């Protein structure tokens, strides 16, 4: 009798798996662009972000989430589960007429894993992983539907970049009125509302806010009249709209009664823009309009100090997380294996350099990092290596030069503001981490940035259109200037970058000449 009962129960369980298979969760990834640690009100920002604050309280705050120091490297690691140096994307991918590269086609990427597992896949917003040929477009790499823009930044109202329209739907140029943050949210909500009933959804929503150019509708800017600096008012309005639209997206998931089976991950792609290298300010003058905050953390966008890589982040899944905070180290290369684990999608663990953090998040434990690397090579080559409680900071610049290597060692748990370099106090740890860092293969598909070339032809957030849409592919690769012209332009850039010192030098020279002449006359 007992054996028959066991046999019946086993048959029922096996049969029920066919009739009621495991319902895979919907996965929604929301990414902001250049939002700093101190740009959210739950980190004491003067800019109110009530929706982000609310969702942090309703879910799980990821208190130690780390992105790469710059945009394209972060997106490359997100898509592949690999570190930036492995993928070879170390700086922003410029428009295809100046930087014809993209996320290498050799890699299977995030939407392809989910698509193979039966997911409906959609990208809404920013791609920024290459469009130099159609094989690199997101619609060719696992996304069923795509909407938004391909390059690094756009005019929020006219959706242009460097004089060409950069707005599309499913790879076809699209002319559409509206503020980009609103439009991205509207499309994301449409995807959620029209979700296929027989498939789980992977939705990747990548906002351009608060990336430069810092823009917002006048009616929103007016709300921040209590802020004296006009640029800070625009910045606050920009983030306020972003916060509102994130709220609309997550509320739409609740309205569609999907919350109990939807994993939501939010983070920023890197730190804020405020500590701008003088040469960078000349090459990309729009950066001067940004007013981001690192909340006291050292460094900003482009830097491997905490202010450039430690970013606001949270995770939500109704029934699994509620008003909690995790100090689990969570690196951008960890996202793909973590999401695959959460969705119970099989994958080859040895392929990824990132680690699934899913079990530690569920169990409320903290696994220490083991030689996790974040990197970028823009104005300077900068790397952060994390091992247990230690962080090794590396800098060399200008990027690609033979400048002296600069290292610092921090106990990042006890010293989150990176005030105390402990390299001399702990030489064994310091030398071991240096050795580990120096052994890392450094692939660089883009080459080092050429300031003269970027000054002449780099990305500009221009609202006026002087050419056809980027996705028409009727552009040609712009040649670099000759070495002589390039050198002259670079000297001009240096003069502009150091104009205060140049003016002082000229004034001192004039005074010196005047005083010498005066002495000669007296003599």
Active site residues: 71, 128
Closest CA to 180 of 145, 231, 217: 217
| DSSP assigned state of 399 | T
Is the Cβ–Cβ distance between 90 and 84 less than 8 Å?
Answer: yes
- In Å, what is the CA distance from 401 to each residue of 373, 379, 508? 21, 11, 32
Query: Tokens for 519?
Result: 């002495």
3-state secondary structure of 385: strand
Decide: residue 53, CB within 10 A, 0-12 exposed, 13-18 middle, 19+ buried.
Answer: middle
- N- to C-terminal Cα distance for the chain? 126
DSSP 3-state helix, strand, coil percentages of the chain (rounded to 5)?
Answer: 40, 15, 45
What angle in degrees, to the nearest 10, is found between the helix axes of 230-255 and 180-193?
Answer: 10
Number of residues that this document lists for the chain: 523
Closest CA to 153 of 474, 467, 462, 464: 462
Give 499's contacts (C-beta < 8 A, 6+ positions apart). none
Q: How far apart are CA 92 and CA 406, in angstroms?
A: 23
* DSSP state string for 405-422: PEEEEEETTT-TT-----
CA distance 75 to 442: 18
Q: Torsion-angle region of residue 32: left (phi > 0), alpha (psi -120 to 50) or beta? A: beta
Contact 93, 129 (CB under 8 A): yes
Containing H/E element for 161?
Answer: strand 160-161
Gyration radius (Cα) of the chain, Å? 25
Q: Within its chain, how far is the Cα of 372 from the centroid?
A: 17
d(CA 264, CA 29): 6
- Token code pair at residue 139: 């619609």
Burial class of residue 510, CB neighbours in 10 A (0-12, 13-18, 19+): exposed
Q: What is the 8-class DSSP label of residue 203?
A: E
Query: Running DSSP on this structure, what letter comes out for residue 396?
Result: E
């Amino acid at each position: 009798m007992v054996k028959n009962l066991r046999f019946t129960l086993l048959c029922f369980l096996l049969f029920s798996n066919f009739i009621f298979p495991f319902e895979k969760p919907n996965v929604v990834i929301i990414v902001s662009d250049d939002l700093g640690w101190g740009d959210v009100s739950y980190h004491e920002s003067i800019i109110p972000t009530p929706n982000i604050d609310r969702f942090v309280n309703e879910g799980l705050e990821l208190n130690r989430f780390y992105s790469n120091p710059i945009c394209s490297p972060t997106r490359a690691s997100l898509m592949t589960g690999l570190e930036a140096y492995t993928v070879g994307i170390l700086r922003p991918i410029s428009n295809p007429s100046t930087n014809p590269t993209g996320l290498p086609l050799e890699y299977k990427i995030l939407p392809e894993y989910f698509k193979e597992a039966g997911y409906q896949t959609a990208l809404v917003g920013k791609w920024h992983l290459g469009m130099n040929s159609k094989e690199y477009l997101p619609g060719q790499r696992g996304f069923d539907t795509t909407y938004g823009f391909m390059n690094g930044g756009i005019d929020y109202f006219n959706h242009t970049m460097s004089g060409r329209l950069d707005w599309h739907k499913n790879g076809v140029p699209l002319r559409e009125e509206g503020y980009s943050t609103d439009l991205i949210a509207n499309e994301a909500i449409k995807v959620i509302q029209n979700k296929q009933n027989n498939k789980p959804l992977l939705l990747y929503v990548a906002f351009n806010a608060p990336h430069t150019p810092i823009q917002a509708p006048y009616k929103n800017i007016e709300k921040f009249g209590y802020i004296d600096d006009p640029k800070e008012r625009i910045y606050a309005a920009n983030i306020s709209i972003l916060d509102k639209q994130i709220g609309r997206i997550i509320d739409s998931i609740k309205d569609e009664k999907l919350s109990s089976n939807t994993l939501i991950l939010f983070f920023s792609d890197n730190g804020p823009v405020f500590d701008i290298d003088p040469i960078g300010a000349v090459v990309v003058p729009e950066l001067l309009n940004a007013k981001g905050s690192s909340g006291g953390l050292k460094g900003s966008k482009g830097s491997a100090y905490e202010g450039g890589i430690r970013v606001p982040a949270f995770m939500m899944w109704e029934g699994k997380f509620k008003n909690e905070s995790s100090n689990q180290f969570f690196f951008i290369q960890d996202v793909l294996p973590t999401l695959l684990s959460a969705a119970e999608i099989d994958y080859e663990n040895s392929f990824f350099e990132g680690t699934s953090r899913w079990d530690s998040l569920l169990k409320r434990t903290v696994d220490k990092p083991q030689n996790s690397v974040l990197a970028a090579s823009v104005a300077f080559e900068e790397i952060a290596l994390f091992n247990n409680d230690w962080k090794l900071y590396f800098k060399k610049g200008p990027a690609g030069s033979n400048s002296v290597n600069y290292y610092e060692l921090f106990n990042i748990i006890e010293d989150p503001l990176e005030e105390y370099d402990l390299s001399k106090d702990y030489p064994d740890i310091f030398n071991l981490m240096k050795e580990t860092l120096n052994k890392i293969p450094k692939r660089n598909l883009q080459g080092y940035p050429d300031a003269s070339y970027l000054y002449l032809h780099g990305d500009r957030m221009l609202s006026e259109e002087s050419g056809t849409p980027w996705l028409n592919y009727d552009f040609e690769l712009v040649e670099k200037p000759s070495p002589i012209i390039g050198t002259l332009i670079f000297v001009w850039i240096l003069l502009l970058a150091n104009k205060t010192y140049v003016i002082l030098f000229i004034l001192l020279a004039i005074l010196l000449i005047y005083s010498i002449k005066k002495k000669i006359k007296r003599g």
